[in-house]
Structure formats: C-alpha cells, structure tokens
Structure 1
Amino acid sequence: MSYSVEQRAKANSLEYRLFFKNCKGQYISPFHDIPMFADEEKAIFNMVVEVPRWTNAKMEIATKDPLNPIKQDVKKGKLRFVANVFPHKGYIWNYGAVPQTWENPAHIDENTGFGGDNDPIDVCDIGSKVCERGEVIKVKILGTLALIDEGETDWKIIAINADDPEASLYNDIEDVRRLKPNYLESTVDWFRRYKVPDGKPENQFAFEAEFKNKDFAINIIKSTHEHWKALVAKKVEGGEINCMNVTVQESPFVSKAEEVESIVKATPPCGPPSPVSENVDKWYYYQKN
C-alpha cells in the first residue's frame, strides 16, 4: 500500500505537522493505521521515516496528538536539533519507527531490567538512499542495539531498505560488520554521545553495547507489537498516548472520517519554512570517555 503526507504550518516552527494519508486519500495515523508488516511471509517490515540521514531536526511521531502526525520535538519551549558531534553530521542513518509497536513503560524488559520509553520502536535504516521525511519504506531487519536512555529501555533496530540495490547482501548483523567496517561502532558512538552537547551524561547500553542478531531483533519487535495491540484495544493504560485511528476494527478508538478531517483542518495551512539558527551547523568536539 502506498502512503502520502500533507504538511501543515511552517517547517521549523512549533506548529509544524506532517499528516499521513492512505492510498484512498483518507487521513490516518502512522502509529496505528500503517501495518507493522509489509510482507509477513518474507519478514519485511514497514518503517516510517521521521528523520532523513544527515539532517538535524529531531522529528518524531507525535504519540500524544490526535492522528499522531510527525512534528519536531520541543524542550523548554524550543525546537530540538541534534548536535553535530564530530565526526557525525546530524543523523547517520535514515531514522524512524516501526508502526503498530509500543515500548510499554510499565513492562520491565527481561533483557535490560528497565521499562520501555513509551514510543514506537526505533529503526536505523543503513541503506544508501537518503529518504524523505514521512516516507514509508519496506525494511529487512538485521539486528538491534539496547540503548538505556535516562533509565528507559530504548531499542534501536538496525535494518536496510528492502529496495536498496545491495539489500540481498545483508541478512544479519554480521553482514553489516563485514560489509560496512566501523559502521556499527560509529552507531554506538553516535548514540552514546549525542546528548552530551546538551549537558547530559553519555548514554549507557545493555549487553555492553553488543548488537544482537536478526532473530533477536524480530522477537523484540513482535513483543512491542503485542504491547501495542493491548494499548489500542484499551486493555492496558496508555496515559497520554492518543490512540485515534481509522482502521483498527477491534479498537474502541476508531474514528469517523469527518472527525479525522476536522483534526487536520484545525491546524494552520502550509507556509514557507521559518529560518533556522546557524548554531544547528555548529560542530562539537570532546574527548571520549
């Protein structure tokens, strides 16, 4: 199935939102209405691209907003941009999430000893194409890294765009290590240090920052899918998470087209992007711990 996006308000503004539509032109939630699997038989998953490679704006599926559009994260009233921590420029992969997954904060992960981060599970696409924000791509799962982010389990799935010219060469995490030397080490380095310019300590990892293989990663994704199913069926308490959707028939949160359209139309229309501070392109250097 193909998907499209509709921008509302100005990019680089607090009001900016990127809403999703299905092939019928209906507004949908990228969190709840896009299937987890693109092809279950071949173990190909859908990935919603939130942040294109080399960019800095910390975009994310807005889990607390109706219809869960993509918006820019905000801290202390200001838009968040990820710093360039030398030698990394912005995000070093296409970054996004697997739809219909949820890292439940009330569930203590047996592998890490911490609860989830309350978001869909994160994906790093290592393919050669620089994707567009809001693009929905099909990915092959290769492995995972268990980041411990401020006391929360934050799994990072490593995957490759199934349409990548070299996708057939990548079938497990060791293929990444063999074909892209130092790429996994750079990924650990990026996640370890990306918050340091904001005055935060280095992030920690479970398994001493060892990557787990494809089968392990797929099992983690499937477990977060089970948590999502309980969330959207209102079998567990989701707190502030908004479960409005248009296709999940077993969900009490299914909404009619008129209600869904009113959500979108209530946001400002698209406009020219707002200017971005030149500090976004600043480089940060510091000694590794």
Structure 2
Amino acid sequence: MALKGSMARFSAYTTRLVGKPHSLEHRVYIEEKGQVVSAFHDIPLYANKERTILNMIVEIPRWSNAKLEISKGEAFNPIKQDVKNGKLRSVKDIFPYKGYIWNYGAFPQTWEDPVHVHPETGARGDNDPLDVCEIGERIGFTGEVKQVKVLGIMALLDEGETDWKVIALDVRDPMADKVHDIEDVRHHYPGLLEATHDWFKIYKIPDGKPPNHFAFKGEAKNKSYATQIIQETEKAWQSLISGEVDKHRKKLPPSEIARYTLKTPSSPFHVTPDSDIYKTIPKGNGVSQDDHISKWFYVPRQKL
C-alpha cells in the first residue's frame, strides 16, 4: 500500500525525551515540527482522506517490558511508565515470550467510555484510548507515529472492563499488500493470534492475579467489526474533547483526563503555545531516539 498525497506531512512527528528511561521522571512528548502536541487529542486518528490508514502511537516497542502508556492526566499527554504503589511497572517474561510480542500502542482521538456498556461484551470501557497491536516486521520506538491498516480486533475482559485490542499492520511493511483482513493474518502469520490470546490471558499471573478472559470465546473479529469499534470510540472521544460528555454525567476531573488541545479550536479545552499551561512543558534532554532496524520473521510451518 503506497503512501500518497497528504500522508507526507506526518513525517514531521518527532519525540522530546525528558528524564532518564526507567525513572519516575521519564516522559516522551510527541512534537510536530518542533511543537509539542497531545498524543491523545492532537494527532489525527486517520492519516488519509479515505479513512483507510490510521495513525498509531507506539508506546511499547516489541520485545520490551516497561509498561509505557499515554498519560491521560498530564497536560499534552506524554508517554510515561506506569506506576503502582510508587514503583515502576513492567511485564514479566513468561516462557516462551519476551516482553510484549508486538509493537503495542494506541489510536489517538479514541476513547473507551467507562460508562458505556458494550452490548456484546457486557462490560464497560476501560477509560483509555483504543489499544493497538502492530504486527509488522520492524520494531518501533516509543512515541513513533506509525501509519497502519486495520486487520481485526480481540475483546479482552480485563478486571471487568472491555479492553479492545486492535490487530494492525504498518502500511510500509513488506506484507502490507498481502494482508487485508483477519483471515490473512491467520494464513500469513501462523500462530500469532493464538499467541496473542495466550499472552493477554496469562501476562498478569506472575503478579498474583488470575488469568484474563475474552469475549467471543477468544476469537478475533474481522476488519469490519474492528472498524465499527474504532468509529464508536472515535465518537466517544469527540464527546470527550467537546465537553459534551460532562453534560450527561459527573464532570471528569482534570487529574483523570487532561484534555488540553492545540488542534481543536472548537473545544473548550483549546489552548495556544503562549498559554501558561503550555509553558509548563519541560525541555528535552537533547537525546534522540534512533529508528530500530531489528526485525522478526514468521516461518510458514507447512513449508518445512
């Protein structure tokens, strides 16, 4: 799938690193042409006019363990390592897996509404942007804005909440012209969906928690179903950023979700670079993140 027209402008995204990795102070801000933007609210969900290519924010590169995520409660929503009881969180290595087994991240301008109960899963949203597992061969980096195509979705039920996991592929991946839907994933990436199900089921067990469960008996739904969920969470985000959601329920405190945005002038949370809140963004360390060149390979067993 070739990149055309307006897609070229998305190469302007870079990262601003603050603090040392694996520290409480570490933050990764996303910049567009040198200006910090919100990873949650300012990067468009769709990367082309046809709405067939989406922007994904990489939070956790494949094979790494630190539980990095978009910070909902901090202004302009940098990526930071999650903290519990004052300690940085990481996932354990569980044989035969090493860390996260895909480039893991989120779709900007989506929100899993914690009040909405999905009619098929019977569970509320998890109050986060929509999660994405990108399965291409190249390892990403934290804060990278990848352009991806949607292939399918799985419905993890995590501590009573619906935690959707979109399966996607980098449009620059060598397999992008061959893989278009969930059945193509089963054919070209044998064992990957089964491994994804297994990983999410067991990854919290070393921390003393029970296995997770899935809706739909663990089966991955197809691209059409995934697209429907994306559209629902996009609509929920629009309600969030417009302030409409606050009219129908208890107002969300700023500490729960910071909604400052540079790119949505119609929003009551719109700010400009000369605003006081924008001036609180810390300067970077002067350290850049190099693009990774590591790859992984899928070997079709039927050929052996």
Q: What is the TM-score of this pair, normalised by structure 2? A: 0.86
| 2:208 is equivalent to residue 199 of structure 1 | yes
How far 1:42 moved relative to its partner? 5.4
Structure 2, gaps ≥5 residues long: 1-9, 247-251, 288-304
- Structure 1 unaligned residues grouped into runs of 5+: 273-289
Match of 2:19 in 1: 9
Residue pairs, 1:48-67, within 5 angstroms: 48-67=57-76
1:65-109 Cα offsets, whole Å, 9 max, x none, are 110000000111100011101111000000000000000001111
* CA contact 1:70–1:134 (8 Å) conserved in 2: yes
Kindly indicate whether the alpha-carbon contact (under 8 Å) linking 1:100 and 1:228 is maintained by their aligned counterparts in 2: yes
- For these two proteins, the number of residue pairs brought into alignment is 269
Higher RCO (Cα < 8 Å, 6 or more apart): 1
Match of 1:277 in 2: none
Deviation at 1:29, TM superposition (A): 0.1
1:255 to 268, 271, 287: 271
The amino acid of 2:279's aligned partner reads S
User: 2: distance between equivalents of 1:197 and 1:171?
Assistant: 35
Distance between the aligned counterparts of 1:256 and 1:271, measured in 2?
A: 24
8 A Cα contact 1:10 1:271, kept in partner? no
Give, as a single letter, the amino acid of the residue that structure 1 aligns with 2:188. L
Counterpart contact for 1:116–1:153, Cα < 8 Å: yes
**Cα distance between partner residues in 2 of 1:88 and 1:4:** 30
Three-state SS of the structure 2 residue aligned to 1:20 is: strand
Q: Report the aligned-residue RMSD.
A: 1.4
**1:270 correspondence with 2:280:** no
Displaced runs of 4 or more, over 6 A? none
The alpha-carbon deviation at position 211 of structure 1 amounts to: 0.5
Give a deviation string over 1:166-194, Cα, whole Å, max 9, x none: 11111000101011111100000000000
Return the match for 2:125 from 101, 116, 130. Answer: 116
- Normalising by structure 1, report the TM-score: 0.90
Distance 2:239 2:51 in 1: 25
How far the C-alpha of 1:253 sits from its partner, in A, is 0.4
CA contact (8 A) 1:63 1:242 kept: yes
Give aligned-pair identity as a percent.
Answer: 50
- Cα deviation code 1:178-213 (max 9, x no counterpart): 111111000000000000000000001100101100
- Output the CA distance in 2 between the equivalents of 1:62 and 1:232: 16
Secondary structure at the residue paired with 1:39? coil
